[in-house]
Structure 1
Amino acid sequence: MSTKGFTGGAGTGKTTSLLRELDSHLAAHPLGSGQRVLGLTFMHGARHRLTERFAESSARRHCECMTLDRFAWDICRRWRTRLRAGGGLVPLDLDAPDYDATCEAAGRLLASPDVSGWVAARYPVIVLDEFQDCAPVRLALAQGLHGRVEMLVAADDFQNLNRTDESPGVAWLRELGVSEELTTNRRTADADLIGAAQALRAGMPLPIGASTSFKLIGVPSPAVAASFISQTMAPAANKDAVLLSAARPGTSPWVDKVIELVSTKQYGKQKAGPVFIKWETTADSIAETTITALGIATGDGEVGAPAILALPRGPVAAQLSRWVDHRRRVLGRTEFGATEVRAQVRRAVQHVRSFGSMPQGGRRAMTIHQAKNREFAVVIVLWPLRVRGDAVLARRLLYNAITRAKRRAIVIVEDPKKRRLDSPPFADPTGIRNPGRSATDARSRSDTPELKRRADQQSCTCRPVLPPGEVPWVS
């Protein structure tokens, strides 16, 4: 059994290469009776997308996908007697899960040959996607299975949005010497989009030019930003257009105002808009909305069965309805404590995330983190005055945003003083910009020694130099 990795920039076909390697392995080593291919990711969104990709592979009828945290929980649950016998923590509380403790306990269990052997007998092939997000406590899970299963791994260290030094997972793959570097972009053939992405990876200035597929725009007010967005998203041809925000909803007044104006106003000679924009829902927001609708955001009162059954139709409401019906038939209960209901709401949301999908619709806005591992025809990035993290992390964040685009990317920057575009991540760390250089020029220079040197220095910790008294835009 061996481990093989695929590394490369966004859109270079890492997941496709994983599945091609999987098909080749299964052709030579078919699964036995009761055996399955296991896909592991770090987030539920990535898990859903990996499940969809598995449906196109030879393992489509003999596979399952889960998050690494869920896999660790399953290991701890199956071997909980051994954990208790060893005097260690048995972290199996689903109402208030301690994911790090669960993964740490599962890593200890997998160090035992009988535990890792049991996993290998059931899952002889394991596919790990987005491995750059692997923290040390989760890396132990992969290390415990190394050599026991056929492990296929995909990673891109520059897409790690949690740290700017080399991630433990990527470092482990490098030490093993088992990675194949992918360089051809398969998501888009557009030279300007590719050039902009390569400039960000290399720490070079982003182009400001006449490109139709990549635009970097500084705007003085929310109304100007809303005008650009409305005239881009209103045409039917741009139905697969999405807004990506560097700030979460409610944390940037500028982003919130831009989306409000796009959703309520018309702009331009063609009277484009209004274009209704809806933030993509998250598990936490759905849980809080449901809890608020039941009137139990705080306190320890009682909730009657009719109130729960009267929730608006949806997958979470259906889960709660089944729970109420079961309690009523089996236990004769029609009243439930607020604490119990809040916990059940969160369990229902978790179940829908794990085994179903959250309903979406219309034109969407989402954070850049939510868009990871996804692709859209047209991407519009909203970049407010303050973005979390240092200049290096900001460059990675912007890279993740524009590489979601297959056809067109527009970066709209809050720039009231008209100086933002000469600061990182748009310019290089020295603040130097060559306004005449196009994205195609950046791509054509991607094989120069200087650009390669900068691309390799992904752990650079440089920060923008600002005039005295000016508030830094990266906080």
Structure 2
Amino acid sequence: MTIQSFSGAAGCGKTHQLMANLAARLERQPLQAFQKVLALTFMHGSRRRLDDRLGDVDLLRRQYECTTIDGFAWRIVSRWQALITQLEMGHPRVNDYEAVCQIAADLLSHDIVVRWIAATYPIVVVDEAQDLTPNRLRIVQAMAPHVDLLIAADEFQCLIEELRPNPACDWLTAVGHDALLQQPRRTSDRNLLAAAGAIRSAQAPASNGLFKIFHTPTPALAASYVSNGIGWNRGGNRVAIITPTMGQFAHGILTWVATRTTGRGNGPYNIILEESETKLADTFVDDLALPDQATLAEAFALMAEKPAPIAQDFVRWLEKQRRTKGRTHVLREEMEDTIRHSFSNQRRLSSRDGPGIRALTVHGAKNREFDLVIVLWPAAIRGNDEQQRRLLYNAVTRAKHQCLVLVQLPRAMILPPFSVREELALNEN
């Protein structure tokens, strides 16, 4: 069993190398009929892109499963319920992701479980490994001695402040067999590359060419830049409006762009708003006002006029409770878990990136690429200088052809990540 890892800046072809090495491995040793490649990543957006790339590996012939590591952990926990009970591990709620991953990692420490996984999945591909929390990393580490592991990571793209120093990157460094990639592949535009390099190096990015930074204190002014940028875009038809936080500034801009026309005749535009399944589920559950306990008929009535995919999942769950367990009542906690799990599944099955204008957070844009990226930088952004550099870097490096950055506060223009603090500049001199 082997471990091969790839590291490097955003857009340097880490996922490309994963696919190339996977193809080479399959050429040397094809999968048997009952075997598959297991591909894991953290976010659903990066999972969809990874799924697309796996579909292009001819030798794979669709013999793969691509899922989030949380989804994989839940499958292990669901499959080994009897062992969990025997070992008194406790049964986690489906949407308590950290607890699910902890128990899945504990299960994989048992030979019978990890060999069951390795028999079906002799090759495991992990992308965006820098985002793995300790329990999620333990899942990968438990499988490593039993499978061929291909893994990609970039410590600077980790946005979780608690993961510094980064456990996954430290582990890969200790294991060895790491290839550092330095040749940009996503874009060849020198101004985009220079801006990304400056941000990563704690320098001030220069507003030049197809990378521009503008001070836009009001949503209306920012929205005019967005609409005109979209209208004048000639780089491609995949556009992303990316922001660290989807707050009042961002929503005001999106509303304006979707309903108004600029003085240059651009707009309005239809925007696909991508929100996390957690936020969508929170809103849905709050609107339901779930009782502490409900009869099956009362629970069924809660789904009246609700979105069909969620309602159908919920009704199927109710029917299963009645048919297989003879139950007549369900509890609030169970109903909420079922609804949240349904939202998670809907996100997993949602359509892949295609033409159109999407609005999403920096976290939601991870490991995705767009022709035009417009970054909204509102006043209220949490985190120290380092965190803000990482947020801006992760947004800017999604761009293949052009990037506009719209900054709300004038003071932000003279602070990191758009400038270098005076004390740092003095120290360097």
- Structure 1 length as normaliser, TM-score? 0.79
Q: How far is 1:220 from its partner?
A: 2.9
Structure 2 residue 117 is matched with structure 1 residue 119: yes
Match status 1:429 vs 2:421: yes
Which residue does the alignment assign to 1:166?
165
Matched, 1:87 2:88: yes
Q: Cα–Cα, structure 1 residues 333 and 80, in superposed 2: closer, same or farther, change >3 Å? A: closer
CA distance in 1: counterparts of 2:322 and 2:84, whole angstroms:
36
CA distance in 2, matches of 1:77, 1:364: 35
Deviation at 1:375, TM superposition (A): 0.7
- 111-120 or 382-391, which moves further after superposition? 111-120
- Is the aligned partner of 1:261 residue 2:256? yes
User: 1:172: Cα distance to partner?
Assistant: 0.4
Contact 1:161 1:393 in 2 (8 A): yes
* Partner residue in 2 for 1:6: 6
Match runs of 1:4-83 below 5 Å? 4-57=4-57, 58-83=59-84
Residues 63-108 of structure 1 deviation map (CA, whole Å, 9 limit, x = unaligned): 11222222223333333333333333233x32xx332222222223
Q: Give runs of aligned pairs for residues 345-384 of structure 1, distance below 5 A.
A: 345-357=339-351, 363-384=357-378
Match 1:282 to one of 276, 279, 282:
276
1:419 has 2:411 as partner: yes
Alpha-carbon distance in 2 for matches of 1:43, 1:222: 29
Render the CA deviation track for 1:145-193: whole Å, top value 9, x for unaligned.
2221100000011100002733100100001111101111111110000
Deviations 1:395-432 (A, max 9, x none): 011000011001100000012xx332111011123378
Q: Distance in 1 between matches of 2:115 and 2:323?
A: 42
Equivalent runs, 1:451-466 vs 2, <5 Å: none
Report deviation, 1:41: 1.1
Q: Is the CA contact 1:226–1:261 (under 8 Å) kept in the aligned structure 2?
A: yes
Counterparts of 2:136 and 2:331, CA distance in 1:
36
1:356 Cα offset (Å): 4.8
Aligned match of 1:214 in 211, 214, 218? 211
Q: Which amino acid aligns with 2:47?
A: R
Task: After TM superposition, give the deviation of residue 285 of structure 1 in Å.
Answer: 4.1
How far 1:388 moved relative to its partner? 1.4
CA–CA distance in structure 1, aligned partners of residues 283 and 149 of structure 2: 40
Change in CA separation of 1:135 and 1:287 when aligned onto 2, cut-off 3 Å: closer
* Partner AA of 1:226 in structure 2: A
Distance 1:431 1:273, change over 3 A: farther
- Structure 1, unaligned runs of 5 or more: 434-449, 451-475
Q: Is the 8 A contact 1:381 1:410 kept in 2?
A: yes
Distance apart, 1:333 and its partner CA: 11
Paired residue type of 1:411: V
CA distance in 1, matches of 2:204, 2:34: 54
1: CA distance, partners of 2:290 / 2:29: 55
Alignment of 1:99-110 (within 5 A): 99-110=97-108
Matched residues in 1 for 2:17 and 2:380: separation? 37
Residues 23-48 of structure 1: CA deviation (Å, up to 9, x unaligned): 10111111124111111111222222
RMSD between superposed Cα atoms in Å: 3.1
Instruction: Please say if residues 257 and 267 of structure 2, whose CA atoms lie closer than 8 Å, have aligned partners that are also in contact.
Output: yes
- Which of 390, 395, 400 is the equivalent residue of 1:396? 390
* Separation in structure 1 between the aligned mates of residue 99 and residue 302 of structure 2, nearest angstrom: 36
Count of residues in correspondence between the two structures: 420
1:303 Cα deviation (Å)?
A: 4.0
Unaligned stretches of 5+ in structure 2? none
Contact 1:218 1:420 in 2 (8 A): no
Distance 2:324 2:30 in 1: 45
Q: 1:308 to 1:73 in 2, by over 3 A?
A: closer
Higher alpha-carbon deviation: 338-347 or 29-38: 338-347
Summarize the Cα distance change of 1:126–1:186 in structure 2 as closer, same or farther, 3 Å threshold. same
Paired residues of 2:241 and 2:374 also in contact (CA < 8 A): yes
Separation in structure 1 between the aligned mates of residue 150 and residue 212 of structure 2, nearest angstrom: 37
Q: 1:347 to 1:112 in 2, by over 3 A?
A: closer
Contact 1:296-1:342 within 8 A present in 2 as well: no
Distance 2:417 2:250 in 1: 19
Amino acid of the residue matched to residue 141 of structure 1? I
Of the structure 1 ranges 278-287 and 193-202, higher mean CA displacement relative to structure 2 is found in: 278-287
**Which residue of 2 is the match for residue 188 of structure 1?**
187
- Is the contact between residue 233 and residue 239 of structure 1 (CA under 8 Å) also seen in structure 2? no
1:268-291 residue CA offsets vs partner (Å, 9 max, x unmatched): 3x2322334342133234435555
Output the CA distance in 2 between the equivalents of 1:81 and 1:298.
Answer: 31
1:152 is matched with 150
Q: Does the residue aligned with 1:230 lie in a helix, a strand or coil?
A: helix
Give 1:219 deviation, angstroms: 2.2
Aligned AA (2:145): G
TM-score, length of structure 2 as denominator length: 0.87
Residue deviations 1:286-322 (CA, integer Å, cap 9, x gap) = 4355556xx623545664757736435x543454465
Please state which structure has a larger fraction of its residues in helix: 2
Judging changes above 3 Å, is the alpha-carbon distance between structure 1 residues 107 and 328 closer, same or farther for their aligned structure 2 residues? closer
**Which deviations, in whole Å up to 9, do the C-alpha atoms of 1:227-257 show, x marking residues without a partner?**
2112112357464222111212xxx332222
The answer (yes or no) to whether the contact 1:424–1:431 under 8 Å persists in 2 is no
Q: Counterpart amino acid of 2:170?
A: A
- C-alpha separation between the residues in 1 aligned to 2:81 and 2:151? 28
Larger of the two Rg values belongs to structure: 1
Counterpart Cα distance in 2 of 1:328 and 1:114: 33
CA contact (8 A) 1:234 1:275 kept: no
Cross-structure match for 1:134: 132
